[in-house]
């Protein structure tokens, strides 16, 4: 159960638990700041006119585009398996 709770999802996106945690915290911080900008924009429409949409685009790029690149890299286990098989 702990394996499923803490490791299954990070592995499914090609990250370790700590890598995934760092990414999630980074997203949370960016979304928090964007939320504040959107709140202020709601009060004073001339402020932060593009902050929310730029943040969404940047986070989408980080999540979708860069995750594909990270997932394509071989994991240590795959590299070890390849090296062991090559020596046999």
User: For each of the chain's 88 residues, which pLDDT tens digit applies?
Assistant: 888 899 999 999 889 999 999 999 999 999 999 999 999 999 999 999 999 999 999 999 998 887 666 656 555 544 444 444 444 4
pLDDT at residue 86, rounded to an integer: 47
Q: State the Cα angle at 9 between 5 and 11, rounded to 5°.
A: 115
pLDDT at 70: 60
Q: Is the pTM of this model over 0.75?
A: no
Q: Could you give the C-alpha distances from 67 to 15, 73, 79, in angstroms and in order?
A: 9, 10, 19
**Whole-number pLDDT of residue 26:** 96
pLDDT at residue number 2: 85
């Amino acid at each position: 159960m702990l394996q499923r709770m803490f490791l299954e999802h990070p592995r499914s996106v090609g990250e370790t638990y700590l890598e995934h945690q760092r990414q999630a915290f980074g997203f949370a911080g960016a979304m928090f700041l964007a939320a504040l900008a959107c709140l202020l924009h709601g009060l004073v429409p001339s402020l932060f006119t593009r902050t929310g949409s730029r943040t969404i685009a940047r986070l989408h790029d980080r999540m979708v585009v860069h995750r594909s690149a990270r997932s394509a890299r071989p994991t240590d286990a795959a590299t070890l398996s390849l090296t062991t098989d090559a020596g046999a």
